[in-house]
Amino acid sequence: PAVRAQTPALATRRKSRQVMVGSVPVGGDAPVSVQSMTTTPTADVNATLQQIAELTAAGCQIVRVAVPSQDDADALPKIAAKAPIPVIADIHFQPKYVFAAIDAGCAAVRVNPGNIKKFDDKVGEIAKAASEAGVPIRIGVNAGSLDKRLLAKYGRPTAEALVESALWECSLFEEHGFRDIKISVKHHDPVVMIQAYRMLAERCDYPLHLGVTEAGPAFQGTIKSATAFGALLAEGIGDTIRVSLSAPPVEEVKVGIAILEALGLRERGLEIVSCPACGRAQVDVYTLAQEVEAGLKGFPVPLRVAVMGCVVNGPGEAREADLGVASGNGKGQIFVKGEVIKTVPESQIVETLIEEAMRIAEERGVK
């Protein structure tokens, strides 16, 4: 998708190092990427690849798979080879799975060296293997699994505790000269999360993976993620995002893309500008907006369509739309770039808008 690195109204983007997650650059001047995580057992190669295909179709650019067992590690070569987007292996404790993921051709590994060090200190060997393979590592600090030492020091997973943990984890790799790192510091509370990322952004130049962890079911998780990511991205902080929802991962991708579109960090596809309706509305705006959205789903060019409930304010309110309708007296005034081009009966509004949208697509060279 066409993307802008930053819109002028947002703060200048924080300067970060760039890492390559397979073919997808993260950090530096790379557009903010959207990622998600599969929910299938990774050892079930077909189901996992199927879900990765669905995520890719929804616009996901990087996918993470959990690797809690040897069977999962054994599945990685096939998954990494066949997935259409870069695959990140998510590993908690076992260094042998990290080596397996690198050998399997995974594009990156999420692992916290602090965990590795506690059980079997292979951090230096991991740094060497990752470096030789050109595989970056994501250090992912989560409020729920914060190091006991820091929990004792701060009493609870504060923003300071998350940042101290992340920078300490980084230092374990830096000791071995490894800096191909991106970081997340996730918390379920957007306010603490925002504070943590702000602090982290000041204290290092690693690219940052934004996430509100355990954000909740779809509605609440969407609000929390949009609020937190919106605040940070508007400040120029954040290089890749993952929305966490207790919902199918395709929903996470849709929300992630919509957040970037809303901030102007990614060119919008179809945008429906519909009025909230008020006492002047002469048509069922909600249904009409839904029908227009459904009729133009997957439209091949960026398009802003206005659906307005009345002819009093409608055309004026929607002047910046490519195309729109303002309803009144059982009819719809169809307008293009603010000019009324025809008036049709209410029953023909949706089909007329779709026809006009097709005409616009043809004008822009898309059949």
Annotated binding residues, written as ranges, equal: 275, 278, 310, 317
Q: How far apart are the first and last CA of the chain?
A: 18
Is residue 290 a contact residue for ligand SF4 (CB under 6 A)? no
Choose between 57 and 312: whose C-beta lies nearer to ligand SF4.
Answer: 312
237 or 310: whose CB is closer to ligand SF4? 310
Strands (E), the chain: 19-21, 24-26, 33-37, 62-66, 87-90, 108-110, 137-142, 181-186, 209-210, 240-242, 270-274, 303-308, 323-328, 331-336, 339-345
- Shortest Cβ 299–ligand SF4 spacing (Å): 23
Q: Is 32 in the site for ligand SF4 (CB under 6 A)?
A: no
Q: Which range of residues in 85-93, 108-116, 275-283, 342-350 is near ligand SF4 by CB under 6 A?
A: 275-283
Binding status of residue 143 toward ligand SF4 by CB under 6 A: no
Rule CB under 6 A: is residue 277 a binding residue for ligand SF4? yes
Q: Is 281 in the site for ligand SF4 (CB under 6 A)?
A: yes
Q: How many CB atoms are closer than 10 A to CB 362?
A: 11
284 part of the interface to ligand SF4, by CB under 6 A: no
**Composition of the chain by helix, strand, coil, percent to 5:** 45, 20, 35
CB nearer to ligand SF4: pick between 49 and 285: 285
312 scored as a contact of ligand SF4 (CB under 6 A): yes
Q: Can you say how many angstroms the Cα of residue 334 is from the centroid of all Cα atoms in its chain?
A: 35
Shortest Cβ 272–ligand SF4 spacing (Å)? 13
Q: Which stretch binds ligand SF4 (CB under 6 A): 3-11, 48-56, 165-173, 306-314?
A: 306-314
Strands 209-210 and 240-242: parallel
Could you give the CA distance from residue 253 to residue 37 in angstroms, rounded to a whole number?
Answer: 10
Closest by CA to 136, choosing from 244, 3, 250, 239, is 239
Stretch that binds ligand SF4, among 77-85, 97-105, 292-300, 305-313 (CB under 6 A): 305-313
Piece of 50-58, 76-84, 264-272, 303-311 that binds ligand SF4 (CB under 6 A): 303-311
Rounded-to-integer distance, Cα 290 and Cα 272, Å? 9
Under rule CB under 6 A, residue 18 binds ligand SF4: no
- Round to whole Å and give the CA distance between 145 and 344: 60
Smallest distance from ligand SF4 to CB 209, Å: 39
Determine which residue in the list 276, 339, 365, 367 makes contact with ligand SF4, applying CB under 6 A. 276
Q: What are the residues whose beta carbons fall under 8 Å from the beta carbon of 72, sequence distance 6 or more? A: 41, 42, 43, 65, 66, 97
Residues near ligand SF4 (CB under 6 A) are: 275-278, 280-281, 308-310, 312-314, 317
